[in-house]
Amino acid sequence: MAAVARAAQPPLWTRSFVAGTFLNFFIAGNYFMLMVVMTAYALNVYQAPPAAAAFCASAFIVGTLVSRFLCAPLMEKFGRVPVLVVACVCEVVFSVLYLVHEPLLALIGGRLLHGFAYGTASTTVATVMTSLIPSQRKGEGIGYFMLSVTLGSAIGPFVGIFLSNNFGYDWVFVVASVLVALAVPASLLLKPAKGSAVKGRPAKARAEEAAAADAASGARTGAPAEERREEAMATQLEAAADDPCGAGAAATKPAAMSVPVPEDGSDTARVPSTHLEEKVTEKLEHSPLSRFVEAGVLPIALVCGLLFFGYSSLLTFLTPYADQIGLSRAASVFFVAYALAMFVTRPFTGRAFDRVGPHPVMVPAFVAFVVGMALVAEASNDFILLGAAMLLGFGVGTVQSCGLAMAVRVTSDARLSVGNATFYMLLDVGVGIGPILLGLVVPLIGYSALYLAMAAVGALALVLFMIVARTEKGTRTA
């Protein structure tokens, strides 16, 4: 029977899925390769002040954040794949322009535009891929897809630092340009899911309005058909219990059984979602922000963004902290161990998410983040620091991929571009403001106390997750 069940599952490793996963690796590798050398490049080549040199790196994040707001309308107007192809071509152009060694202000402007292109490409490919992945395999498929970012975050920094130290910055720009150029043919191999490529037509506008109305009623996609049937039956039984004489049974039954359940078990039907999502959606239903922000995604995106705020402390301060405590050797391979843990655990956590839901998978991930940050704060040898890296890799990787799976499950296909943009926008905010705020705190409390504080941030994120992830089932019967 197990073999029959596996055979009945829809395919995951299609040509488009493979092409999109490789494309995401190419653009992520380019991003990380350039990010780790950009501050040093501005300091050494331009003799820029430290603040200006740091902004050469962070300007990229600013451009990325702007793209999250504008990407969804672009996809609606021109279509997902055309926007993706143009964004990948722009990434190649801006990567090559670093070889021109333009003036510092032009470099910062180029970083802003490059960040916009990267944000557009990453959001669009995530939108295409999440629409392609079968609803029964969302967690597994997104887990595999996000491994591309894991590999990019491990290989990109290593190659960037190695090339800049041994061959110079021009070689970094050449290799980064070649890598992201491979994304262009990969984008041409993508074929969007049926019904998701409509653009610039009245039918699209009507679909958007219908999807927004569904979202406002507190609905979500991706729930298994059996779960929807169980909820409908539970509603019917509850009504019967409240009306033992059966007077209202005839009136209650149609309403209870009106939840649409497709015969094929697809995810086109929508069922009630979390209380928090419903409240947020009602607030934003008629707001101008509804065109750029998917309200149902905001709760889980805020939780993940908070965790990435804590993660930004590793990107910004791990190297000087490791130098201070004499663990520079371990710090040089910290993110390799971090990425290895992500790579090993993500496929398993994705499958577990599909089978048992978010709580059993994500709660241990939040705990791993808290313990990992505490170990970084108290690290006294290489083994402790690398052990912390593996715990943090499991924690951050699982929360990111499963959080995205939760986000797309509350978003209709017509609003998928907005949902993905909303999710990544909150991650960008967390990573973007982290260095600024934490940079003000470090001189006051020191690195060790900072990482203990980030452990507390992880604990707060866990508490908020428990609030956000309270499903409709089992909460409205009270």
124-172 confidence digits (pLDDT tens): 998 888 788 887 777 678 778 877 887 887 788 778 878 887 898 899 9
Mean pLDDT of 470-478: 41
| pLDDT top residue among 159 and 246 | 159
Please give the pLDDT value at position 8: 62
Least confident of 21-25, 283-287, 352-356: 283-287
Tens of pLDDT, residue by residue over 381-437, are 989 999 999 999 999 988 988 888 888 777 766 777 677 778 878 887 887 777 777
Please give the pLDDT value at position 289: 61
CB 430 within 8 A of CB 306: yes
Write the single-letter amino acid at 406.
M
Residue ranges in 79-100 assigned as alpha helix (H): 80-97
Least confident of 66-80, 182-196, 259-273, 451-465: 259-273
Tens of pLDDT, residue by residue over 39-86, are 778 878 888 776 677 677 778 888 888 887 888 788 888 888 999 999
- Per-residue confidence band for 96, with pLDDT thresholds at 50, 70 and 90: very high
pLDDT > 70? residue 317:
yes
Distance, in Å, from the CA atom of 251 to the CA atom of 245, rounded to the nearest integer, reads 13
Please give the pLDDT value at position 152: 85
Please give the pLDDT value at position 196: 53
Mean pLDDT of 187-199: 68
Average pLDDT value over all residues in the chain: 75
Distance, in Å, from the CA atom of 105 to the CA atom of 169, rounded to the nearest integer, reads 18
Exposed e or buried b for every residue in 119-128, given b needs 16+ CB within 10 A? bbbbbbbbbb
Please give the pLDDT value at position 136: 74
Percent share of the chain, pLDDT over 90: 25
pTM across the whole model: 0.63
Please give the pLDDT value at position 427: 84
Nearest to 128, CA basis, from 416, 467, 476: 416
Please give the pLDDT value at position 205: 42
Instruction: Tell me the sheet residues that pair with 271.
Output: 220
